[in-house]
Amino acid sequence: MEGISGQVAIITGAARGIGAAIGKRLAAMGATVVLTARDEARLMQLAAEIEAAGGRAEYEAFDLLDEATVERFAAGIQQRHGGCYILVNNAGVGRMGKPLWETAPADWDAVMDTNLRGAYLMIRAFAPMMIAAKAGHIINISSLAGHNPLKNGAAYSASKWGLNGLTYSVAEELRDYGIRASVIAPGSVNTGFGGGSSGKNPSRKIQPEDVANVVAMLVTQAPQSFVSEVLLRPTFKP
Ligand code: NAP
């Protein structure tokens, strides 16, 4: 499948930042985007913007940490659309700023549960529909912190190293069904991620739209091949 017009694309963490840019981009390419995150007001606003621009957007607010809610969401998508062609696991939290030994277990859990278990729950819910359709593309948003050490961000780094391994493994599990799984590992992106200012020059950072461009490239790759991973760096060091 080379075009995505008319296909359903689900994006987690679509309330703002990278996920919102991916939602806009895939909608502009003709997909029906399903925007998810916890912040319903922001999702509603983004869906309205997409529709005003001539795109098709739905939204559903839920917490990725809640297994039963993820299952209910997936059942609703199956009922309304019969499945989805694209799943972008983008939602993530940082909880950085402390060495590992000072990191509270609750912060460790929030990072692992959102960044790693959330992707697992979504794949668990949607892979069976993709397998039935013998088509699909799963894109997981990792980080260069999933390739490098990250001082004062060990839990975050570990979650993204884990997400890379999960993606490569699930790609092997799904490729026989014509389903592709890819991971994107960006460096610093100009979003509000993590709250405070990093002291980096925002205009030199990767922009959310740059990540969305990579997603657009991956989902339009001709069906006989797929890109396993993209490492995305800013041209000038921010
Ligand atoms: P962001 O602006 O903070 O957005 C994070 C998104 O995740 C929000 O839409 C948030 O929405 C959602 N989210 C968080 N916890 C959730 C939960 N429990 N259930 C459902 N949704 C949840 O961050 P971003 O920069 O766009 O980051 C997106 C992804 O890119 C993350 O995986 C991040 O690790 C990765 N990344 C970011 C950078 C960077 O420098 N910004 C670099 C490399 C990789 P709600 O709060 O409304 O739920």
Q: Which residues are identified as catalytic?
A: 156
CB 146 within 8 A of CB 160: yes
> Which pLDDT does position 198 carry in this prediction?
73
In this structure, which long-range contacts are made by residues 148-153, counting pairs with CB atoms below 8 Å and at least 24 apart in sequence?
Answer: 150/96, 151/99, 152/96, 152/97, 152/98, 152/99, 153/94, 153/96, 153/97
> Which pLDDT does position 196 carry in this prediction?
62
Atom number in ligand 1 closest to CA 192: 2
Specify the CATH number for 8-232; select among 3.10.450.50, 3.40.50.720, 3.40.50.300, 3.30.70.330.
3.40.50.720
Tell the residue nearest (CA) to atom 3 of ligand 1. 193
Confirm whether pTM is higher than 0.75.
yes
Q: Which residues pair with 189 in a beta bridge?
A: 206
Per-residue pLDDT of the chain (238 residues; tens, 9 = 90+): 458 999 999 999 999 999 999 999 999 999 999 999 999 999 999 999 999 999 999 999 999 999 999 999 999 999 999 999 999 999 999 999 999 999 999 999 999 999 999 999 999 999 999 999 999 999 999 999 999 999 999 999 999 999 999 999 999 999 999 999 999 999 999 999 988 667 889 999 999 999 999 999 999 999 999 999 999 999 999 8
Tell the residue nearest (CA) to atom 39 of ligand 1. 189
> Which pLDDT does position 136 carry in this prediction?
98
- Ordered by start, the domain boundaries in the chain are 8-232
Measuring from each residue's beta carbon to the nearest atom of ligand 1, which residues come in under 6 Å?
Answer: 12-19, 37-39, 63-65, 90-93, 114-115, 141, 143, 186, 188-189, 191-193
Distance (Å) from CA 135 to ligand 1 centroid: 27
Distance (Å) from CA 136 to ligand 1 centroid: 23
Atom number in ligand 1 closest to CA 17: 26
Distance (Å) from CA 102 to ligand 1 centroid: 23
> Which pLDDT does position 1 carry in this prediction?
46
For residues 172 and 160, what is the distance between their CA atoms, to the nearest angstrom? 19
Question: In the sheet that 179-186 helps form, which strands lie side by side, from edge to edge?
Answer: 56-61, 32-37, 8-11, 86-89, 136-141, 179-186, 229-232
